[in-house]
Chain A
Amino acid sequence: MSYVGIIITFVFINNFILTQFLGLCPFIGVSKNVESAVGMGFAVTFVTSLASLVTWMIQHFILVPLGLEFLQTISFILVIAALVQLVEMVIQKISPPLYKALGIYLPLITTNCAVLGIALIAVRSNYDPLESFVAGLAAGLGFLLAIFLMSNIREKLDGEWIPGPFRGVPIAFITAGLMALGFMAFDRALLNNLLG
């Protein structure tokens, strides 16, 4: 599949949150205001792009040659945890303002399903290293798009009257459900029409 195809697939057609439900907890938890939602979105994008590239290397340079594919889950999650830690330290050293913006979200990303999810999906789809990287980037951008839209809607909802039991998490879920309904407009046919 072409790189454009991969991007359209992971941003719109298989949007990680709205069709696959990966990374739903931060999506509900950190979408109360736009600023922190965007920070979280960029932090996730950064980590998914790197993680899908690094886990591709682990899979093809270490696990497959040594016949250790059954260690995939353990090695991927450890590599992701280490990577997140490393990214945190590097950003802190190189760019303190960026660290200030993303810092608090980085430790939370280790347990974000989206990161391990894209690593596993990229390996299962037999992507080459560059395709894996693009898939990771696109999955992160899809997350960013969804959480950005969601946080804008939730900021607007703050000024509205909502029946008691629906306040907070339930209305967030229902909003996400309606957004998912909108994203159903993007399907395989879109890809075929665009790329032939």
Chain B
Amino acid sequence: MIKEFTKGIIKENPIFVIMLGLCPTLGVSTQVINSLGMGAGVIFVLTGSNIFISLLKNFIPENVRIPAYVVVIASFVTIVQMVMQAAAPSLYDSLGVYVPLIVVNCIILGRAEAFANKNTVLASILDALGMGLGFTLSLLLVSLIREVLAAGTITLFPMGGFDGVIEVPGLVNAPVRIIGLASGALLVVGYLKALIDLKQKSPEKAGCHL
């Protein structure tokens, strides 16, 4: 049972091994706080949709299962949008169009189709948490590399006297700006994927729209 949880973190990491959900990974990874917000949103939606779909697996007719899954996922995404807009408006603004786009994040539909519709609720929750955590950790890695190199800072939540920004000495004054731009995102993910392929040769796995 514990394997359902741990497999998503490294062995079947959604971003670097299965290569799903890449749009938000690249789009929001300019600041660490954005990836924390995105990761929290995805974990919530993934867990919610996995629970619902595994509960409803015997009631959803085979032919209309994809639209049914999409409605469940879109409902949870709407909850995330409303909560984020109310609780963290500045984060909601900086994530922009990527928050509603969680609907078409293939990790979520992929897990519904590949796991939740044939497994128990408990296993589906563990699977969702593991996959969500794997997604968040990969996103965090990409955004740490990009923000530290491109701005020389690490932006977190402001707490008490701490304004939420850690400065990396040396890099603040001489940042590598290209890493923060669109092409930097693609280059960072390309090199990271090469590094991971060096360690484990992953078979070319097809995503839900490849």
- Give the CA-CA distance A92 to B56 in the complex, in Å: 33
- Contact at B100–A173, with CB atoms within 8 Å? no
- Flag B64-101 by CB within 8 Å of A: 1 or 0 each: 00110011001101100110000000000000010011
Chain A residues closer than 8 Å to B187, beta-carbon distance: 173-174, 177-178
Total CB contacts across the A-B interface at under 8 A: 144
- Contact at B97–A120, with CB atoms within 8 Å? yes
- Contact at A20–B27, with CB atoms within 8 Å? yes
Q: Is B167 an interface residue (CB 8 A)?
A: no
20 example contacts (A-B, Cβ-Cβ < 8 A) are as follows A22-B23, A22-B27, A22-B101, A24-B26, A25-B20, A73-B77, A78-B70, A81-B66, A110-B104, A111-B109, A116-B103, A117-B101, A120-B100, A165-B198, A166-B194, A167-B197, A169-B193, A171-B190, A173-B186, A179-B183
Chain B residues closer than 8 Å to A33, beta-carbon distance: none
Chain A residues closer than 8 Å to B70, beta-carbon distance: 77-78, 81, 110
- Give the CA-CA distance A170 to B184 in the complex, in Å: 14
- Give the CA-CA distance A183 to B19 in the complex, in Å: 24
Chain B nearest CB from A117 CB (Å) reads: 6
- Give the CA-CA distance A111 to B187 in the complex, in Å: 24
- Give the CA-CA distance A113 to B24 in the complex, in Å: 10
For chain B, which range describes its interface: under 10, 10 to 19, 20 to 34, or 35 or more residues?
35 or more
- Flag A149-173 by CB within 8 Å of B: 1 or 0 each: 0000000000000001111111111
User: B74 contacts which of A26, A73, A112 (Cβ < 8 Å)?
Assistant: A73
Q: Is B164 an interface residue (CB 8 A)?
A: no
- Give the CA-CA distance A77 to B67 in the complex, in Å: 9
- Contact at B194–A170, with CB atoms within 8 Å? yes
Q: Is B172 an interface residue (CB 8 A)?
A: no
- Give the CA-CA distance A19 to B11 in the complex, in Å: 30
Q: Which of A20, A108, A112, A172 has the most CB of B within 10 A?
A: A20
Contacts A72-B100, A111-B209, A180-B183 given; does A21 touch B23 at CB 8 Å: yes
Q: Is B2 an interface residue (CB 8 A)?
A: no
- Give the CA-CA distance A123 to B198 in the complex, in Å: 44
Q: Is A130 an interface residue (CB 8 A)?
A: no
Q: Is B168 an interface residue (CB 8 A)?
A: no
Chain B residues closer than 8 Å to A165, beta-carbon distance: 194-195, 197-198
- Contact at B195–A24, with CB atoms within 8 Å? no
Contacts A25-B207, A108-B209 given; does A70 touch B78 at CB 8 Å: yes
Q: Is B191 an interface residue (CB 8 A)?
A: yes
Q: Is B141 an interface residue (CB 8 A)?
A: no
Q: Is A5 an interface residue (CB 8 A)?
A: no
Q: Is A28 an interface residue (CB 8 A)?
A: yes
Give A66-88 interface residues, CB cut-off 8 Å to B. Answer: 70-74, 76-78, 81
- Give the CA-CA distance A155 to B203 in the complex, in Å: 21
Q: Is A135 an interface residue (CB 8 A)?
A: no
- Contact at B204–A168, with CB atoms within 8 Å? yes
- Flag A30-56 by CB within 8 Å of B: 1 or 0 each: 100000000000000000000000000
Q: Is A23 an interface residue (CB 8 A)?
A: yes
- Contact at B27–A21, with CB atoms within 8 Å? yes
Q: Is A93 an interface residue (CB 8 A)?
A: no
- Contact at B190–A112, with CB atoms within 8 Å? no
